[in-house]
Amino acid sequence: MRSIARIIQPAYAPFLHPKHISRVQLSNATSAPAWRRSFHASASLRVVDLAYSLHDNKGSAKGDPIVIIHGLFGSKKNNRSVSNALARALDRPVYAIDTRNHGDSPHDNVHNYNAIADDVEAFLKKHELKGATLIGHSMGAKTVMTLALRNPDCCANIIPVDNAPVDAALSSDFPKYAEGMQRVERARPKSQKEADEILQPYAKDLPVRQFLLTNLVRPAPSEPLKFRIPVKILSDALDNMADFPFTDPEETRFGKRALFIRGTRSHYVSDEALPIIGRFFPRFELRDIDAGHWVISEKPEEFIKAVVEFLQEKDE
């Protein structure tokens, strides 16, 4: 798709944002006043110490940090290739993290965006990551939006991938995936092939099943396979993953730059959602990529190109 750039007056009307426009910038909208919020977790939530992988081009990447956050049922391993590519292209270290209840990070019964954001904010503080770019896909996208809105000082800019700051039902596929994974867990399969056969009625596409089954581990030789993620906790949290913690853009805005990347064959960021994005993030830009919801894995080169171009532009 040929890239078309346009400046849009911030009227926020859906018809101003046709799907064929690959990049939209609302640069003349009124920015919210700056405010500060110190790093701290919500008093009622337990902060989880997150597992991560550092991609720094063998120690040579010395620029401002990038933190990349996977989606639901994913892990830091999903972003290994793009993290290495971004570290090389931008000379910036990339921290690929596992959120709570995912990958190698600890499990907790609470799984919502405020809790996940608390963990990431504590991670930024622990590793002294200043001026960071926060990238997140799907669940990770709503996490970086939450972080930016509640504490704009925690990052320099954000790149949410295929999600919007709205309460919206998850694709019906995700409850099916969760149901299938619980079925696999109850069956105690001895092999990946057996697990794949059980999961097939719930996830028709082989790449999706392969993605979900990356969470299978064998605790010890001769023992059946089990999921390393707490499938029941995440299944119960699906409604939380559809929610968004902020509802009033007149009260809370992020005045720094934001790049929203969406898959044109995905429904998660509709044209109708663009006005509310513009109100929460008045300096947002939009990049369309010909992909479904799994933008990063489907079109990694186009994703990397979009990120690099955005981050190499001067912050005016």
Q: What positions carry a catalytic annotation?
A: 138, 293
Angle at 275 between CA 308 and CA 268, to 5 degrees: 65
- Collapsed DSSP state (helix, strand, coil) of residue 157: strand
Q: Give, in order, the Cα–Cα distances in Å from 84 to each of 64, 70, 75, 296.
A: 15, 15, 15, 13
Placement of tokens 């080169």 in the chain: 301
Q: DSSP states of 1-64 as a string?
A: ----EEE--TT--GGGS-TT--EEE-TTSPPPPP----S---TTSPPP---EEEE-TTTT--SS
Contact 96, 83 (CB under 8 A): yes
Q: Measured on CA atoms in the order 24, 25, 26, 32, is the torsion positive or negative?
A: positive
